[in-house]
Amino acid sequence: MKQFFTAFGLFTIVALVAATHAAAQINPYKEGTPGVTGYRSEVLSEVIVQSDKLTRLAEAIPADKYTWRPAPDVRSVSEVFLHIAAANYNLYKLVGSAPPAGIDLKNFDKSTTDKAKVVATLKDSYAHAQQAITAMPDANLEKSFDWFGGKNSQRGILLFIVRHGAEHLGQQIAYARMIGVVPPWTEDGQREEREEQKKSADKK
């Protein structure tokens, strides 16, 4: 199952730039990242899109499905969202942004199953992530430290964080499909397609 979710996460990265309904679309590739340039801007763009997709998916999943899990030994819907949020608070410490005071990251993914609280926590964690990337000096990108028995740079840490979030976005897409929830951006595309078909039919 782990391999499936990892592959699904990689597919999601490719799908991130797919067209979505204009009213719901967040497009940092077009709108830019004011005040942030270069590599950090590229990372920030991915984080913004990832945040939008995860938040919309969290809002689309019914509250009574937040405790659903595909097997006893894997995270539930709420636990995956909170795991992502915990990573946003925990991993950005490595590039200079400590978690807000008062947040206990121990067993964070099991701290609540309440949909409103989970969605709010997810949003707050991505606001923290965006602030961390914005505040990080470019000069720090090449700073290195010990990492899983080897070395990594802060540039590599940002890449790891984005990959981690994308992997779990893919996992949540799979969860949503299993419980009958169509991802909102897919619904946007289907709506646009129906509208185009209707326009074409009306012209005939």
Query: What is the predicted pLDDT for the residue at 68?
Result: 98
CATH number at residue 126: 1.20.120.450
Contact at 8 Å (CB) between 96 and 135?
yes
Q: What pLDDT was estimated at residue 180?
A: 96
Residue 25 pLDDT = 63
Phi, psi of 187, rounded to the nearest 5 degrees: -60, -40
> Which positions of the chain have pLDDT values less than 50?
1-23
Q: Is 56 exposed, middle or buried (0-12, 13-18, 19+ CB in 10 A)?
A: middle
Q: What is the pTM of this model?
A: 0.83
User: Helix axis angle, 154-178 relative to 38-60, nearest 10°?
Assistant: 20
How many structural domains are present in the chain?
Answer: 1
* Residue 183: per-residue pLDDT: 95
Helix ranges, 67-153 (H): 77-91, 115-135
pLDDT of amino acid 72: 95
Say how many C-beta atoms besides its own lie within 10 A of residue 195's C-beta: 11
- Domain housing 91: 2-203
Torsion, CA 29, CA 142, CA 89, CA 61, rounded to 10: 30
CA angle 1, 186, 63 (to 5 degrees): 65
Per-residue burial over 82-105, b = 16 or more CB atoms within 10 Å of its CB, e = otherwise: bbbbbbbbbbbebbebebeeebee
Contact present, 45 and 33 (Cβ < 8 Å) = yes
Write b or e for each residue in 11-27: b if 16 or more Cβ atoms lie within 10 A of its Cβ, otherwise e: ebbebbeeebeeeeebe
